[in-house]
Amino acid sequence: MKGSGLFVAWYNYDRINSYNATLNFILTNRGFGKTFGAKCNVIKKFIKKGEQFVYVRRYKTELNDIHKFFDSPDLRKKFKTHTFEVKGKTFYIDGKIAGYAIALSTSQKLKSVDYPFVTTIIFDEFIVDKGCIRYLTNEVDVFLDLYETIARKRNNVKAYLLANNVSIVNPYFTYFDVTPRKTERFTIARDGELIIEMCTDTVFINEKLETKFGKLIKGTKYADYSIYNNSLRDSEVFIEKRPKRNTSPVMSIVYNGERAMIWLDYKTGIFYCDDKYMKTCNEYVLSCEDHNPNTLLNASGINLNMLKQLISYFQVGRVRFSDQNIKHLMYDIFRSLGVK
């Protein structure tokens, strides 16, 4: 990040802005300055055009330090002829309202509020690292509801969803059925209205490697994530496509609205999990919320022989997953059944 006496390289929004997408997902190396760049972006828009912005975090507690939003010395140096202030959850530049801070968890209370001058939404840290905080129930719908509240019928509102590359498995990519391509910087979907950028920068990588911390973590899994922008939680262990021969469907499991199909290779004794639904098998759910007339409720899980067998096979490394989405879903299922 430019400034702070450390990094010259920092994230620039020009490339992603050139695509003119509505939803812009940005996953970068940790510390690459995507939030700093987003702040510069909206400040310039307000100073030049009077366009306002909304800064979003998931929970109210994440806005406890919002009064420090403009406190970066680099930011104030860059815009040294302008004044910045935060009053409550409202941002001021040169004494005029420039933006608002909103907690997504309480955003549905704002449906009757108008934001006619807002053209940019910044959702910071949209990917959750498991064990820290949780996604909201139906979070993507909640976010889209907030977007519509702000944009109404206008076509000039862009949303930037920022995160470190914790995992490509998250409710947003699942909702829009999109997976970023590993070999390409940009993945475009939804007729160009959704874009994902997996950004790495050679200058930034080299600079970070030369820091004391960079030398400390060099060669570790954390360095792959923090420096090289590889997913922290997306190990390729147990990722394997199901063979076309010798496998038969044994059941499907629905958990939190998502389905996994379970197959057994009777020749090798390995279970395969994917999303290729077969109606010929029983479908089990683990909660009342997922239950419907066509499913079998198995809340305890342990009284089903095939499920018990699946768990025991997983514990000895004989279960495979078609991709990261299915792997994360099945891990959630196993955890819900008490597997550690």
CA–CA dist 299, 313 (Å, integer) = 20
Q: 38 and 14 in contact (C-beta within 8 Å)?
A: no
Q: Which fold has domain 14-226?
A: Rossmann fold (3.40.50)
- Give domain limits for the chain: 14-226, 247-336
pLDDT score, position 256: 87
pLDDT of residue 8: 45
C-alpha to C-alpha distance for 259 and 257, rounded to whole angstroms: 7
Cite the beta strand spans of the chain per DSSP E. Answer: 23-28, 52-57, 84-87, 90-93, 96-103, 118-124, 158-164, 186-189, 194-199, 247-255, 258-265, 270-274, 283-285, 296-297, 319-321
Residues β-bridged to residue 161: 25, 123
Q: Which residues pair with 186 in a beta bridge?
A: 197
Neighbours of 88 (CB within 10 A): 9
Tens of each residue's pLDDT in the chain, 340 residues? 444 444 445 788 999 999 999 999 999 877 778 999 999 999 999 999 999 999 999 999 999 999 999 999 999 999 999 999 999 999 999 999 999 999 999 999 998 899 999 999 999 999 987 666 889 989 999 999 999 999 999 999 999 999 988 777 788 998 998 988 877 899 999 999 999 998 776 666 677 677 888 788 788 876 666 665 666 566 777 888 999 889 999 999 999 888 999 999 999 999 999 999 988 888 888 888 889 998 888 755 555 778 888 999 998 899 999 988 898 899 889 888 888 7
**CA-CA-CA-CA dihedral for 73, 77, 79, 81, to nearest 10:** 120
